[in-house]
Amino acid sequence: MKHVHIHTKAPYDVLIERGLLDSVGALIGRGLGVLRIALISDETVDRLYGERVEHSLRSAGHRVLRLTFPGGEENKTLETVACLQRAMLEGEITRSDLIVALGGGITGDVAGFAAATYLRGIRFVQIPTTLLAALDSSVGGKTGVNLMGYKNQIGAFWQPSLALCDPSVFATLTEEQYADGMAEAIKYGVAFDRGLFEMLYADHDIEEVIRRALTIKGDVVSADERDEGVRALLNFGHTVGHAIEKLTEHEFTHGQAVAVGMIVATRGALRMGYCRENFLDDLIGCITYRGLPNAVIATTEELISAMRSDKKRAGDEITLILPKRLGECCAERVPMSDLSKYFQI
C-alpha cells in the first residue's frame, strides 16, 4: 500500500492501493474509531459502489446513513448541500460522527462543504472514484459549490481526516473521464516535476503517478494551507480553464478545459519571456496522446471577459500561473488590461 502524509494543521494520510474499497470500514475504524457515518455519493456512483462500501462500513461496526444526490455541475449547489444536511439532521448525525464522500470531485466538494458547515464542522473522509478527484480535489481541503454558473464561488477550507484511493475503480470510467485525470497529472509534471511529465508519455504504474502527484500537492498545501501564497501554483492551467468551462457551458469537461488552459498559458509565458525553455510541442503532444483537446473555439476577448469573475482576481489584477521551464512555474500578478498580451487564441 502506498502512503502519503499531508502535514496540515490537522494532519492526515492518503492510502493508495488496488482493492482498498473493500477495506474502507476497517481503515476508517483503525484511524478514527467506530462511528455513525453519513455515506454520500451521487446516484451513479451509488449504483456502482454504494452497497459495496456500505457493507464494508457495517462489517467494521459502523452505523451507516446512505445518502445520494443527482450528479452533474448543475447540482453542485447550496440547495443540494441543504438537502443532504436536512437528511443528516433527521438521521441524527452528530458532531462526533463522520461524513464519507464516495465519488468524483463534485461529490467531494459537496460532501466536504456539507461537513464544513454542518453543526459548525464535522469530520469527513474522501474516497475518490475518479482519477481527477484522486489527483486533485480529494486532498487539500478545498470544498464548495457553484453560484450562478460560476465555479466554487461559495466554499470553505475543510481538510479531510483521511483519504482512501482504490485505483481499480477507475476501470468503470469512460475514456473521457480517465483523460480528465490525466490532464491533472500533466499539470503536476509541467509545473513541478519533469520526471512525472516524462512518465506520462509511456506505460506507467498509476498508483505511483498518484503517489508522486499527491506528494507534490501535500508539500504545497502544507506550506500554504489556506491558499494565500505558493498554493496558487497548483492553479496552472486553471484560470483559462475555468473561463473555457464557463464559455462552453461545461461542454468542455474540467480536465479538457485545463488541458487547453495549460497550452494557452505556456504560449503566453513564451510570448512574454517568462518561459526560457520551449517545450510547447512536447506539452501539446502529451495532451493529445492522452486523449485531450489542444484547442478551443473562443476569441481572446471572450476568454478575458469570462476571466473577470475568477476568484483569483483582486481588484484590477489577476494572478497568472506561468511556466518558467518544464517542471517549474511562477505566479505573476497581471493587470486585467494586459491580459490580451498574454492570451492570443
In single-letter form, the type of residue at position 52 comes to R
Task: Cite the residue boundaries of each domain of the chain with CATH code 1.20.1090.10.
Answer: 175-342
Hey, what CATH topology would domain 2-172 get?
A: Rossmann fold (3.40.50)
- Coil, helix or strand for 143? strand
Distances (CA, A) of 149 to 99, 144, 217, 245, 261: 27, 13, 27, 10, 19
Label residues 310-332 b or e (16+ Cβ within 10 Å = b).
bbbeeeeebbbbbbeebbbbbbe
Q: Nearest 5°: phi and psi at 20?
A: -60, -25
pLDDT at 312 > cutoff 70: no
Task: Cite the residue boundaries of each domain of the chain with CATH code 3.40.50.1970.
Answer: 2-172
Cell of 163: 483519504
Hey, what CATH topology would domain 175-342 get?
A: Dehydroquinate synthase-like, alpha domain (1.20.1090)
How does DSSP assign 2-59, residue by residue?
EEEEE-SSS-EEEEE-TTGGGGHHHHHHHHH-S-EEEEEEEHHHIIIIIHHHHHHHHH
- Coil, helix or strand for 87? helix
> Tens digit of pLDDT for each residue in 94-141?
999 999 999 999 999 999 999 999 999 999 999 999 999 999 999 999
The residues, ordered by sequence, that sit 6+ positions from 47 with a Cβ below 8 Å of its Cβ are none
pLDDT at 300: 85
Question: Are 39 and 69 within 8 A, CB to CB?
Answer: no
> Tens digit of pLDDT for each residue in 152-182?
889 999 999 999 999 999 999 999 999 999 9
